[in-house]
Amino acid sequence: MVLPSQIFTNKPAIMKNGTPFLTTILILTALCGFSQNRSITFIEKPWTEILALAKSQNKLIFMDAYTTWCGPCKWMAANMFTKDTLADYYNREFLCVHFDMEKGEGLQLAQLYQVRAYPTLLFINANGEMVHMRVGAPQKTEEYLDMGKIAQTPGERFTEYQEKYREGDRDPGFMMKYLERLQGAYMPINEPLKQYFASQNEADLLNRDNWKMINLFVNDMDSPEFGYLLKHQGEYAKRYTRDSVSSKIFTVYMQALTTISRGRTFTTESYDKLKQKIRDSGYSDAEKVIFSGDLNLYQMKSEQDKFTALAVSGLNKYYGGDYAMLNRMAWYFFQVTTDPKNLETAAGWAIKSISLKSTPENNDTYANLMFKLGKKEEAIIYEKIAIDLAKQEKADLTEYEANLKKFQE
């Protein structure tokens, strides 16, 4: 999902409050710090022997299903499986194995467990039955711990939720967890979501459970539920805050624009038609959505002149109160342009960002812009501020100190 606060980025070493607007891969930096001495131990045995071990030890099998070309698989192996907390828990509670799904026994296991995306993390009992799964490489230790605990808890596993759903359970609390498990397994949620809402009266769509369901899972701007939200956004806003409701509508429209922009059959006509549909919806932030969507489009198509001109003309209007967005855009300009006029504009965004909330990141951005504009003394002043703030936050100083040294040479 693409959010307005995710547009653009600063250099990865500093992680300036955002992720790249077009980037869907995992962030490999800013995951650092403490020394880790232990790793998850993966048993290297034939599958039949692993099943026998699981039975004799009365343990579930944790399987990392990977491929050699999968970037997130490599990241997870290097950055998560090497954490002491995870190593201790998984080595104690599970028989841990990993298989290349495109080689040897992995080929048959991929077919048996219907592995279609990588990495896939499977929990399998001694009978060879998959009981829980998740697709992808979670970035937080707690996610791996939660995943393991769910796999060990009867009634909470993915396959058990599937069975409850087949038996007709449509309780909102159950459906919330079921849809989360489907998403975690990289499986479609549209049909279960459609069936759930079919069990609800229209008037019930305003209740808290259904607002949560809409807010978390409804992402189709043409769905009846989104149409109802749009039509009754004032009522939702009174109950659940205007910001949360507006943010949801913004996100759905932004996702629609992004999807059509990335489509192989993209045409300017279809894109403009969608923009007009958003304008005609009556949504108060329609123009802000369109501004953000156009920035995204120009960046994807490498139309730098259009991108720059649009940013210069509209950023203060639509994001003038968003310190993080101002900083992201200022850093983006620092990275891509040498034009003094554009750099001065970016410096204006950076100093405005600082006035809204002074952080190590935006002070560093402003310092770099000053240096690029030949204003070394001002660059040094603001880089020192960035270092002081970073010390207060106990953040990594390496990049900031390297910049200061460069500025002082």
Active site residues: 70, 73
Please check whether residue 347 is in contact with residue 330, taking contact to mean a CB–CB distance below 8 angstroms. yes
Structure tokens at 167: 């038996």
Structure tokens at 130: 């998959």
Please check whether residue 5 is in contact with residue 18, taking contact to mean a CB–CB distance below 8 angstroms. yes
List the beta bridge partners of residue 307: none
Distance separating alpha carbons of residues 336 and 341, to the nearest angstrom: 13
> What is the strand order of the sheet 94-100 is part of?
94-100, 60-66, 120-124, 130-135
Q: How far apart are the first and last CA of the chain?
A: 43
Distance separating alpha carbons of residues 328 and 22, to the nearest angstrom: 14
Q: In one letter, which amino acid is 155?
A: G
| DSSP run (H or E) holding 66 | strand 60-66
What is the dihedral angle through the alpha carbons of 252, 253, 254, 258, rounded to the nearest 10 degrees? 100
The 3-state secondary structure of 50-62, one letter per residue: HHHHHHHHCCEEE
Residues in the chain: 409
Please check whether residue 361 is in contact with residue 16, taking contact to mean a CB–CB distance below 8 angstroms. yes
Nearest 5 degrees, angle CA 195-CA 196-CA 197?
Answer: 95
Distance separating alpha carbons of residues 399 and 364, to the nearest angstrom: 9
Distance separating alpha carbons of residues 86 and 222, to the nearest angstrom: 42
Phi, psi torsion values for 352, nearest 5 degrees: -70, -40
